[in-house]
Amino acid sequence: MRKKSLKTLVFLVFLSLAFYTVLFFYKKKSTATFSSKKSYGTDKAFIWAIKETVQVQQAKKPEALEASQEKIEIPAPAKQILERCPDTPPDLVGPLYVEFTVERTLDEVRKEMNFLKEGGRYKPPDCIAQQKVALIIPFRNRYDHLRHWLYYLHPILKRQQVDYTVYIINQDGEGVFNRAKLMNVGYAEAMKQYDYDCFVFSDIDLIPLDDRNLYRCFESPRHLAVAMDKFNFNMPYDTFFGGVSSLSRDQYLKINGFPNTYWGWGGEDDDIHERIKSRGMTISRPDLATGKYKMIRHQRDLHNEANPNNPFKLRLASLNMNADGINSLRYTVKAIVKDVLYTFITVDIEAPQS
């Protein structure tokens, strides 16, 4: 009898030892899943701890799933990486119909140009424009022409996929007009605003008759207005560089910009041509069919008489180039107004009174 009860006792001790051994290892494995060290005094607490572990793991599951879905979605934004715009813009239409008999208010023009950003800015949404272009317009008191120019040019520049801004450089006061100095001011002010690599200088009264005449820069300085209606759609003389031209920043700096000293009408465009020639550059041009322009007819403006001294200055063009240009430019900005159609900069250029 004693022997039997001893056997039972040994068996019970063995059983409880086995139970606690199993319990000990089970507990160790479960708590190891927690990174923070927690101690559980009772078995009840231990069971809660296991439940908590399972819940935390379950709660983590959707997170892990989300993370893996995010990884799959990564190529989606990569698809939106824009490519460089093509050499030939795809939406060009060629010859254009242009007339100046319709009266247009600035508000009507604004409503049509709903693709512009403040300052007269645009850049193509689907591709990276080949060049960043500042359009520089020398200006005073030509508001009729301004409306026509904006109405026609903005849609053309959009089709040409240019990243551009229109700068109207308005000469303040009644002094003698100076087209080339205003263009220098346009260059200097534009460069303060954006990293332009090309500058198109245009009269306010010239509208291209073909949108394949690209408003951008080329290997050499470019003359765009090669076939104006007022010259029977021809060049008035071989070295003509007036009306509309484009120079890259490098080309412009190579000639120290434009002369500041041509007051009144005439000669400054020929001076620029001389500068380009004397720096060993050639002139690039579109053909006569693509380079057609219509000029809004006008009389010569007040305070912009033909200056009889200008032809003499022209002989000294290459000599004066290093001292008269962007490096000697002096002016005072009076106001900068950013309209949706243009950036309008009024400037005092220290003009002599006529």
User: What is the set of active-site residues?
Assistant: 203, 205, 265, 268-269, 295, 298, 300
83-84 vs 127-128, strand pairing mode: parallel
Q: Is 140 in the site for ligand UDH (CB under 6 A)?
A: yes
As given in the structure block, the two tokens for residue 188 are 């200097």
Q: Is 304 in the site for ligand UDH (CB under 6 A)?
A: yes
- Stretches 75-83, 94-102, 189-197, 294-302: which one binds ligand UDH (CB under 6 A)? 294-302
- In 99-121, which positions are buried (b, 16+ CB within 10 angstroms) versus exposed (e)? ebeeeeebeebeeebeebeebbb
As given in the structure block, the two tokens for residue 105 are 């208010």
- Quick one: 161 or 273, whose CB is closer to ligand UDH? 273
Coil, helix or strand for 276? helix
Q: How many residues bind ligand UDH (CB under 6 A)?
A: 15
- Stretches 50-58, 87-95, 112-120, 295-303: which one binds ligand UDH (CB under 6 A)? 295-303
Q: Which does 301 bind (CB under 5 to 8 A by kind): Mn ion, ligand UDH, none?
A: ligand UDH
- Quick one: 132 or 142, whose CB is closer to ligand UDH? 142
Q: Is 213 in the site for ligand UDH (CB under 6 A)?
A: no
Q: Is 354 in the site for ligand UDH (CB under 6 A)?
A: no
Could you tell me if 262 and 184 are in contact, meaning their C-beta atoms sit under 8 angstroms apart? no
Considering only 133, 153, 204, 227, the residue that binds ligand UDH (CB under 6 A) is 204
244-248 vs 222-223, strand pairing mode: antiparallel
Binding-residue pattern over the window 98 to 137 for ligand UDH, x denoting contact by CB under 6 A? ---------------------------------------x
Beta carbon of residue 171, minimum distance to ligand UDH (angstroms, whole number)? 7
What angle (nearest 5°) sits at the alpha carbon of residue 90, between those of residues 84 and 92?
Answer: 125
Beta carbon of residue 112, minimum distance to ligand UDH (angstroms, whole number)? 22
Could you tell me if 215 and 260 are in contact, meaning their C-beta atoms sit under 8 angstroms apart? no
Beta carbon of residue 203, minimum distance to ligand UDH (angstroms, whole number)? 3
- Quick one: 85 or 204, whose CB is closer to ligand UDH? 204
Q: Is 142 in the site for ligand UDH (CB under 6 A)?
A: yes
Q: Is 271 in the site for ligand UDH (CB under 6 A)?
A: no
Q: Is 138 in the site for ligand UDH (CB under 6 A)?
A: yes
Give residue 337's Cα distance to chain centre: 19
- Quick one: 52 or 305, whose CB is closer to ligand UDH? 305
Rg (CA), the chain: 38
Residue 118, CA distances (Å) to 82, 160, 168, 238 in order: 23, 20, 14, 40
Coil, helix or strand for 295? strand
Beta carbon of residue 203, minimum distance to Mn ion (angstroms, whole number)? 5
Beta carbon of residue 179, minimum distance to ligand UDH (angstroms, whole number)? 5
Residue 278, CA distances (Å) to 226, 255, 320 in order: 21, 9, 12
Beta carbon of residue 141, minimum distance to ligand UDH (angstroms, whole number)? 6
Beta carbon of residue 134, minimum distance to Mn ion (angstroms, whole number)? 21
Q: Is 149 in the site for ligand UDH (CB under 6 A)?
A: no
Binding-residue pattern over the window 53 to 82 for ligand UDH, x denoting contact by CB under 6 A? ------------------------------
Residue 108, CA distances (Å) to 129, 168, 189, 305 in order: 28, 19, 28, 34
Judged by the rule CB under 5 A, the positions of this chain that interact with Mn ion are: 205
Q: Is 299 in the site for ligand UDH (CB under 6 A)?
A: yes
Partnered with residue 134 across adjacent β-strands are 165, 199
What angle (nearest 5°) sits at the alpha carbon of residue 31, between those of residues 26 and 33?
Answer: 110
CA neighbours closer than 13 Å in the CB half-sphere of residue 246? 26
Which residues would be at the binding site for ligand UDH (CB under 6 A)? 137-142, 177, 179, 203-205, 299-301, 304
